[in-house]
Amino acid sequence: MNNTITIIIYSSAAGFPIIIGGLIAFSLQNVRFKMKNELNHFIVAFGGGALLSAISFVLIPKAVSTLSILHLILIFGAGTLSFMWLDVISSKIGGSIAQVISMMMDFIPEALALGASFAYNHNFGLLIAIFIGLQNLPEGYNSYLELNEKLSRKKTLMILFCLSFVGIVAALIGESYLSNNEFLIDSIMLFSGGGILYLIFQDIAPTSKLANHWLPGTGASLGYIIGMIGEKILK
């Protein structure tokens, strides 16, 4: 299959969980059941586990093996500081725009790496797509809940639907302009890893905690386990 078509398919599979997560949240919003609050926190924690596994198995290992110590420190630190800066800006802006910015902070760099990585390893590109999809499902779910506080259901779902296609554009850009620069690909993944680690401990982990309930923590472990399985199968 042509590389470009394959990238479009994989990046679509990685991006569409955003709207799928939103539709799940939409479906459950008006349904009353005993464990609803616990389920919301479980899904948030699952997303945190998936993000952590993406850092462990995809974004960081290759960079550690190919980049110098100085590059590791500078690029990983730059990712952390950049995401922190965007987080500060988002909190000042508030509302739906802040949530959109937050979701795209990790999706776009990863999608760029997805498209670029196909030049040397299709399995690695598939692995990235799986991890992006794993984290986008709970992010779409959580984003719907937050966006719907300010916007109508229709507008919220429309935003999530449009965001599902951002990864396709980013992946194609990665294929066209980054595929011959392995250093840049590794740097993008390392940069994204630094930012995601900041997000996990700044936003996701504190949000997922629920007093006197222990289900959310198992969601983080489940997300990480699925990441390990994906890495083991495709390596």
188-204 residue pLDDT tens: 889 988 988 888 887 76
Question: Between helices 17-29 and 122-147, what is the axis angle to 10°?
Answer: 30
SS3 181: coil
Q: Where are the domains of the chain?
A: 3-27+35-234
pLDDT bin (cut points 50, 70, 90) of residue 33 is: low
Question: Between helices 95-117 and 69-93, what is the axis angle to 10°?
Answer: 150
Q: What is this structure's pTM?
A: 0.82
pLDDT bin (cut points 50, 70, 90) of residue 211 is: low
Question: Tell me, what's the pLDDT at 213?
Answer: 63
CA distances (Å), origin 184, targets 41, 67, 103, 181: 36, 10, 22, 5
Q: Return the amino acid letter for 56.
A: S
Quote the distance between the C-alpha of residue 204 and its chain's center. 12
The three-point CA angle 172-98-137 to 5° equals 55
86-116: per-residue pLDDT in tens? 888 877 776 556 667 767 877 888 898 888 8
